[in-house]
Amino acid sequence: MIQKATIDAVFENARVEEVIGDFINLKKSGSNYKGLSPFTDEKTPSFMVSPVKQIWKDFSSGKGGNVIAFLMEHEHLNYPEAIRYLAKKYNIEILESPVNSQEKKEQSEKESMFVITEFALKYFKKSLWESDEGKRIAHSYLKERMFDDNIIKDFDIGYCPNQKNSFSNYAINEGYKEELLEKTGLTIINLKNKIDRFSGRVIFPIHSISGRVLGFGARTLRNDKKVAKYLNSIESSIYLKSKILYGLYQSKQSIAQEDLCYVVEGYTDVIQMFQSGIKNVVSSSGTSLTPNQIRLISRLTKNIVILFDSDSAGVKASLRGIDIILKEGLNVKVCSFPNGEDPDSFVKDKSTEQIKNFLASESKDFIQYKASLLAEEIKDEPLNKSNTVHDIVRSIANIPDRIKQELYLQSCSKLMNVSEDVLFSTLAQIQNKSKKNLPKNYSNTSEQLVKTKKINEVNSRFELEKNIIKLLLFHGNEKVVLKEPVLFKGDKTGKIKTKDSKVTCKVYEKIYLDLQQDEIAFSTSIFKSLYEKIIYSINNSDNFSIEKFVNNLPIEMSKEVSDIILNEDQYYLHDWSKKNIFVAKKSELLSQWVFEIILRFRCELIEEKVSDLQNKTKQNKGEHHDNLLEEIIQYHKLKTVLSERLNKVI
């Protein structure tokens, strides 16, 4: 675990405008910076960065947050990866806090292995570009494969000299331990002999999604059939093949932007497609996709197209991969290349547009793919057709979304000429036999949709709570003079009246006391948490800072706060005064703003109270019925008075 001291140091040193400026062309706009959104295809800049508040907001996509949130959204890093990225950028030492000595030892060893793989990468690249052997043999081979120098550099391709232990000896002389060289799989140690595992091979580094070198794939340049064509790093604490996708580091941005990921078999398939303009592509390195690999893709997109050559021995295995993808809740299609072609060979003589058109037209959903693949086996045999239909329905049973299940069953019905009733009945039988295929809360799908709709509906209570958070963030620690309404009963009619009493207090104190007195609780959970954190921070600090406050928030809360802050700032992005248009600042009308929000919130509370009392009157027809009606009448009178004052303010 990364120590809090390191995280604090990262936030103290990292500048949001510098970090985002590495990825986006930002231009000064008053005290802020503006640029084109990296998340949408726009022509007018709506992406704003605030150096003062150290936050950003993309008004075209609605995303926003602090510097960590940007790296998580744009680079698709998790929180620890984003911290490590910034620590590396600003040369901050990462202090770990393992739970025990064993974990400390393991973490230290992993970091040492990462250092070794980075060292090896530099060595292999230097061997390719600077050694006579590398230029003569390896570089020539890559040129024959039609890889240009730019793509070779983009993928950090290298070469290990065709000598017994040139790399191992060099690494040991540089101070790296034999034990760790062996654990990374770079060196084979046998009876005190040190042998380079990848001797005489072209090296394909395999990166994590954040860019760290996890291991290597290596292709032999010998024609000896007894020699394995490809070798991979051995499994280790940093290299777990089932959790890695080749090319993900280079392709992650394109996958997210295209909202689609192509999956191929080999390293060169990825590189050749990337060079041909299809950059949203990764490789499973010749194995069937695993759940961990699919989850990596799901961080970027929910849409996968598996690309296989028609002669591939792994086509049948791909059927199992389809079921795993469906089980993870992703959408999957399959595209087969013409006979004798694979992605590498197919794209070489074609334009990007031609390739895209082919992929779009030939990609089939998994039902069409399975049906076409098994068509020859089906023929006119009823039993074979039955087995194929069962196979397709078993795949559909893996889909966690009930609506998708129904749509796919309808598609299968038309394609296989089988009634929908029979298919639904078959699906039910399969699910009854295998309960684990049922999604969580399966029977509550419609209910969940209704709940989601209600959550997304904009209501007055939500907006009021949001405005209170905004008020506290901007002006919570400021003093205001308020005309406090004091309620009293007037003449003999008993009509409630008010008179003003001036009160001087801080904004956060006024809000806190009023909400406490009226027993008002926030209905939105994130606003409730933010409210409590803001009150605590202001109350325990002489100098409340939005920047520090945001940096200490969980990532989701920081996004919400940046959304509130920068939505406010967007009205001050231009120098309106030059056009004789003057926008009133909230600080100039602070007393009025505080007063209005409190009144509106109290009116909202009364509405809820009246509604609650009305429900009670329906249930209670006894002796308390008249008392409840009287209480409702009094609340209506109070609301009338507050509404009159509110209208005067407005």
First and final C-alpha spacing in the chain: 52
Quote the CA–CA distance of 312 and 342 in Å, as a whole number: 9
Q: Give the separation between CA 399 and CA 415, rounded to whole angstroms.
A: 19
Give the integer Cα–Cα distance in Å for 206 and 216. 5
Q: How far is CA 92 from the centre of its chain?
A: 25
Residue type, 280: N
Confirm if 469 and 527 have CB atoms less than 8 A apart. Answer: yes
Name the burial class of residue 542, with classes exposed (0-12), middle (13-18) and buried (19+) by CB atoms within 10 angstroms of its CB: exposed
Sheet of 201-207, strands arranged across? 158-160, 201-207, 213-220, 230-232
Fold (CATH) for 4-89: DNA Primase; Chain A (3.90.580)
Tell me how far apart the alpha carbons of residues 379 and 388 are, in angstroms, rounded to a whole number: 11
Token pair 């939105």 in the structure block, residue: 524
Supply the DSSP string of 120-155, one letter for each residue: HHHHHHHHHHHSHHIIIIIIHHHHHTT--HHHHHHT
The superfamily in CATH containing domain 101-239 is DNA primase, catalytic core, N-terminal domain (3.90.980.10)
Strands 55-58 and 47-50: what pairing?
Answer: antiparallel
Sequence ranges of the domains in the chain: 4-89, 101-239, 245-372, 374-442, 460-570+581-649
Check: CB of residue 347 under 8 Å from CB of residue 271: no
Q: How many CB atoms lie within 10 A of CB 65?
A: 27
Distance (Å, rounded) from C-alpha 238 to C-alpha 212? Answer: 10
Angle formed by the axes of helices 382-396 and 402-416, to 10°? 160
Measured CA to CA, the distance from residue 388 to residue 116 in angstroms comes to 50
Q: How many residues does the chain have?
A: 650
Instruction: Please name the residue that has the structure tokens 């003093």.
Output: 479
List, run by run, the mean pLDDT of 10-residue segments along the chain (650 residues). 85 90 89 87 86 83 84 84 91 79 81 94 96 95 94 96 94 93 93 89 93 93 87 92 92 88 92 95 83 87 84 60 86 86 88 94 84 63 78 86 86 85 87 60 39 45 84 84 61 58 78 68 82 83 80 79 70 44 51 77 77 76 67 74 60
Dist CA 154 CA 157 (whole Å):
8
* Residues 6 or more apart in contact with residue 234 via CB below 8 angstroms: 184, 185
Tokens 């002006």 sit on residue: 475
Q: Are strands 193-196 and 261-264 parallel, antiparallel or unpaired?
A: unpaired
Report the largest interatomic distance among the alpha carbons of the chain, rounded to a whole angstrom: 110
Determine which helix (DSSP H) or strand (DSSP E) holds 460, and give its type and residue range: helix 460-475
Q: Which amino acid is at 177?
A: K
The residues, any chain, with a CB within 8 Å of residue 284's CB and separated by 6 or more, are 245, 246, 263, 264, 265, 293
Query: What is the Cα–Cα distance from 648 to 259, expressed in whole angstroms?
Result: 51
Which residue shows structure tokens 């068509």? 375
Place of tokens 């049948």: 316
- Residue 536 corresponds to which amino acid? Y
| 207 phi/psi in degrees, rounded to 5 | -105, 155
What pLDDT, on a 0 to 100 scale, did the predictor assign at position 447? 38
User: How many CA atoms lie less than 13 Å away from 453 in the CB half-sphere?
Assistant: 6
Provide the pLDDT for residue 571. 42
Q: Of 251, 373, 248, 265, which is closest to residue 319 (Cα–Cα)? A: 373
Residue tagged 């019905």 (tokens): 413
Rg (CA), the chain: 32
Place of tokens 């393991």: 106
Structure tokens at 338: 């013409």
Locate tokens 């730019």: which residue? 150
Reduced to 3 states, what is the DSSP secondary structure of residue 232?
strand
Q: How far apart are CA 321 and CA 122, in angstroms?
A: 35
Three-state secondary structure call for residue 235 = coil
Q: Which CATH number fits domain 245-372: 2.60.130.10, 3.30.300.20, 1.10.645.10, 3.40.1360.10?
A: 3.40.1360.10
Phi-psi region of 219 (alpha: psi -120 to 50; beta: other; left: phi over 0): beta
CA atoms of 105 and 123, how far apart (whole Å): 27
Looking at residue 225, the DSSP 8-state letter turns out to be: T
What residue type is 539 in one-letter code? N
Query: Which one-letter amino acid corresponds to residue 482?
Result: L
Q: Which two tokens stand for residue 602?
A: 């109290």
Q: Helix, strand, or coil here: 346?
A: helix
Angstrom distance (rounded) from CA 613 to CA 616: 5
Backbone angles phi, psi at 230, to 5 degrees: -125, 145
